Structure 1
């Protein structure tokens, strides 16, 4: 776990919160002594019913068109 000092938290709070928002957990220290932990809030899990409802709204993908698009960007001989 990475550490962040109280001074860093005060002076660069936005940057520290950005790191936490991206999933990082940080140990907050004052004068080298741990005083707290900053971490992301767990996201709520979706129920099976809501996952199925979302799945029904996903557009169909044309596999041939998708393959063609990929081949246009990446060398197919790789």
Structure 2
């Protein structure tokens, strides 16, 4: 893991973000003591059981939902779009 002082990280923050976007983790120190680690966001996955719970607790769409969805799709889909659903 790369190590930068807080001053170095501050002065080159755009570069730090570029390195992090490429997958690198960077430890930031102040007076020689680690104070932070900057890294790519961690993926947050949920279990299949939790996903089923969320679906079961979601409100049911009202009777006009399907019609509203078709209207919205028609308003944004280009004419003749083969992927239009």
So what's the TM-score if we normalise by structure 1? 0.52
How far residue 31 of structure 1 moved from its aligned partner, in angstroms, is 1.1
Tell me, what secondary structure is at the counterpart of 1:23?
Answer: coil
How far apart in 2 are the matches of 1:36 and 1:42? Answer: 15
Aligned residues: 45
Point out which structure has higher relative CO (alpha carbons under 8 A, 6+ apart): 1
Deviations 1:14-47 (CA, angstroms, capped at 9, x unpaired) = 00110011000111101111001101013577xx
So what's the TM-score if we normalise by structure 2? 0.48
Tell me, what secondary structure is at the counterpart of 2:8?
Answer: helix
Which ranges in structure 2 are unaligned for 5 or more consecutive residues? Answer: 46-85
Which ranges in structure 1 are unaligned for 5 or more consecutive residues? Answer: 46-78
Tell me, what secondary structure is at the counterpart of 1:42?
Answer: coil
RMSD: 1.5
Regions of 4+ moved over 6 Å: none
